[in-house]
Amino acid sequence: MTRTRLTVLAATAAFAATGGLITASPASAAAVTCASPVWKAQYFGNSAFSGTPKLTACDSAIAENYGYGDPPGVTLPKDNFSVRWSLTRDFGSGGPFRLAAATQDGMRVYVDGVRKIDLWKNVSVTARKTVDLTVPAGRHTLRVDYVAWTGTANAAFTYAPRTEAAVDKVKPLAPAGFTAAYNRDTGKTTLRWSANKEMDLAGYRVYRRLGTAPWAKVSGASPLTSPTFTDAPPATGQTFLYEVRAVDKAGHESAGSTDATAVTVDRTGPAAPTGLTVTGDAWWATLAWHGAADAAKYEVYAASAASGPYTLLGTTATTSYRTDAPEHTVRHYRVRALDALGNPSAYADVTGDGVDRTPPKSPTSLNSVVRTDYTDVYWQQPDGFYEDFDNGGTYHVYRSPGKTLDPAALTRVTCEHSESDETGTGGVCHDLDMPAGTYVTYAVAAVDPAGNESALSAPLVVRTGDRVAPGPLTGVRATPRADGTLLSWAASTDDDVERYVVWNGTRQADGTVEWLGTSSCWEGTSDPLAVLCGDLPDGETYVYAVVARDRWDNALPPSDPRVPVVEATELDVRPSVTVTRDWHLGSMGYDTLTGSPGVPGPSINWTCDKTPDCDTVAGYRISRWNTATKTYEPLHSGLLPAATRTYTDTTAVRGTTYFYTLEAVRADGSVAGTHPWGCVFQNRV
């Protein structure tokens, strides 16, 4: 029987089509290369794979039936020849594989130099063996050694991935070399990547997303069978991310490739405005809507019929638009959004009937002027009300008793004169009907010509006027001190008191009081219920009365029998030594009573303009009465310079009365003139 090499012709044809060669020259055998995953076959004229191969060729598969003859293109011994096939290829992610050998005679199979199948025996029938193993990811070398010893010669070997889902647990490698190219003219993205090396590859899936949103598959239901894809992303001007994943025949999907981006052209308008409303307000219509996220402006249109034609009223960057509109006339409106590139949205539509249902804003800044017989309440006109007011709008003034506005007890006030002030920016109500001597609360509403009334203004609490004087005070006391008589009293219980008035007088021989007036007492800053009265404390006796005066100038007279009267005798703090006043040198100026905040102490100023005597003055001496030593003691060392004309006692303590002497002293020590005076340095409360 002639041996026949069944597959070499197929391999030859395949390589002729692909540029492959079958080389028969032993001298060039070492130079033969076979592109992976094609086998490189070496034929030896012995069974030991020794010496130079008789033939080196490329085989697409190991499936040989030589029978009793030679392979085409080479002459081998009838018996005892050998063939070695080898290849190195990339197995991608690897995984479970099945090796299957069928041979007559011997065959050995190696993976990376490690023997996996051993059928090494001269046999008269075909021997077979199958081995399942896991191939690691990456490149590996397979080698098949075949020996024909005697008889019929045939050899077959296959290796294939196991794709059953129960067996294959290895997912493919992520595709590499992923790129995206966006065409702004067509609006399409062309995606390309390198083909995966896995033998069990079913195809690819392409995913797309915006930002951190979940990935969405865009390549269809079935896996792609070629490493390229064209996508048409939405033309929104946004940046889309892409990735590709490989899928094997067991259904496992790889991790995503590195991301590729495509910046799309923006041909997509914003979402249409929502919630469009129209509100009538006399001869105005106000449109309002909810804006779109990427809208740069809005166009507002109007038409007299729903079918149009529509006229552009204007554009706005806000979500409202005010336009003049005929009263009681149906008008149709539509609004659309435009993005920064001018891409428009769909229209939102609304219809208005021209009826004014919009109440004005509330008046503001209520205040009042209160008198005994009337109360003037005035306010500021609310924004935008001037047109309504000029066309028949008005104000309603309401009042309720007490300090809180009571909606259930409101009374509409009848205002006695015009409800607009002279400037037209506010209003005033002259209320003659308010109850006297009590609290009322006012509120004002604006009313437009259509009768729409605003919400009430913020309330204004008013204490109304009366002609009743506050009642008599209690706790009135008079306490003599070194700086005057301190009058104090308890606060009035009346709620309209504006101030207190202190009267002083003298008791007459018949027991009556001659009231002198209200000008000899001084208020301080810390106690509103006390004053300091009197001049130099010289032991005189006075009668005092304190009355409350309200803001309407009502007050009890001090002679009213209900007014409590107190009597007090001043302290007598005058010096026991009498000083003769003989100052004839010039004028004198000083206060006999002081105590205002910021005054450092009692002071005096003088002139010396009697030339013959003043020319002899060498200086001045200021002395103060010492109650302990009962003498006048100088307040300074030596004499004050002759040019001195003023002096302030900065050592004086408030709440004390002081007595001083000013002496003009000659060079020989004699006194040219003496002036005594006293000053109450009050500690006003």
496 and 416 part of one domain: no
For 178, 483, 485, 534, the CA distances from 680, given in Å and listed in that order, are 102, 5, 12, 9
Residue 580 located in a structural domain: no
Look at residue 584 in the predicted model and tell me its pLDDT: 93
290 and 346 part of one domain: yes
- Which phi and psi angles does 16 have, rounded to 5°? -65, -35
Domain count, the chain: 6
In this structure, what CATH number is given to the domain that contains residue 131? 2.60.120.260
Look at residue 192 in the predicted model and tell me its pLDDT: 98
- Which phi and psi angles does 29 have, rounded to 5°? -60, -40
Residue 63 located in a structural domain: yes
> Which of 463, 486, 506 is the last residue before a domain boundary?
463
Q: Hey, which bits of 260-380 come out as E strands? A: 260-263, 274-281, 284-290, 297-303, 311-316, 320-324, 331-338, 348-352, 364-370, 375-380
Look at residue 20 in the predicted model and tell me its pLDDT: 35
Look at residue 526 in the predicted model and tell me its pLDDT: 86
38 and 139 part of one domain: yes
Residue 433 located in a structural domain: yes
In this structure, what CATH number is given to the domain that contains residue 221? 2.60.40.10
Residue 142 located in a structural domain: yes
Question: Up-side HSE of residue 535: CA atoms within 13 Å toward CB?
Answer: 8
341 and 395 part of one domain: no
Residue 342 located in a structural domain: yes
Average pLDDT, the chain: 92
Look at residue 70 in the predicted model and tell me its pLDDT: 67
112 and 204 part of one domain: no
- 424: left (phi > 0), else alpha (psi -120 to 50), else beta? left
Look at residue 248 in the predicted model and tell me its pLDDT: 97
Write out pLDDT tens, residues 338-366: 999 999 999 999 999 999 999 999 999 99
> Which of 406, 439, 463 is the last residue before a domain boundary?
463
Look at residue 88 in the predicted model and tell me its pLDDT: 97
Element (H or E) spanning 131, and its range? strand 127-135
* Positions of the chain with pLDDT lower than 70, given as ranges: 1-30, 69-70, 417-424
250 and 341 part of one domain: no
Residue 56 located in a structural domain: yes
61 and 156 part of one domain: yes
195 and 150 part of one domain: no
Coil, helix or strand at residue 282:
coil
Rounded distance between C-alpha atoms, residue 445 and residue 435, angstroms? 22
Look at residue 419 in the predicted model and tell me its pLDDT: 53
Q: Are strands 593-594 and 671-681 parallel, antiparallel or unpaired?
A: parallel
Domain hosting 637: range is 588-681
Look at residue 520 in the predicted model and tell me its pLDDT: 84
pTM greater than 0.85: no
20 and 147 part of one domain: yes
38 and 142 part of one domain: yes
487 and 556 part of one domain: yes
Are the beta carbons of 532 and 520 closer than 8 angstroms? no
Rounded distance between C-alpha atoms, residue 68 and residue 55, angstroms? 18
Residue 107 located in a structural domain: yes
User: Mapped to the 3 state alphabet, what secondary structure does 386-426 carry?
Assistant: HHHHHCCCEEEEEEEECCCCCHHHCEECCCCCCCCCCCCCE
157 and 12 part of one domain: yes
Query: What is the full DSSP assignment across 180-199?
Result: EEEETTTTEEEEE-PPP--T
Residue 170 located in a structural domain: no
> Which of 129, 161, 193 is the last residue before a domain boundary?
161
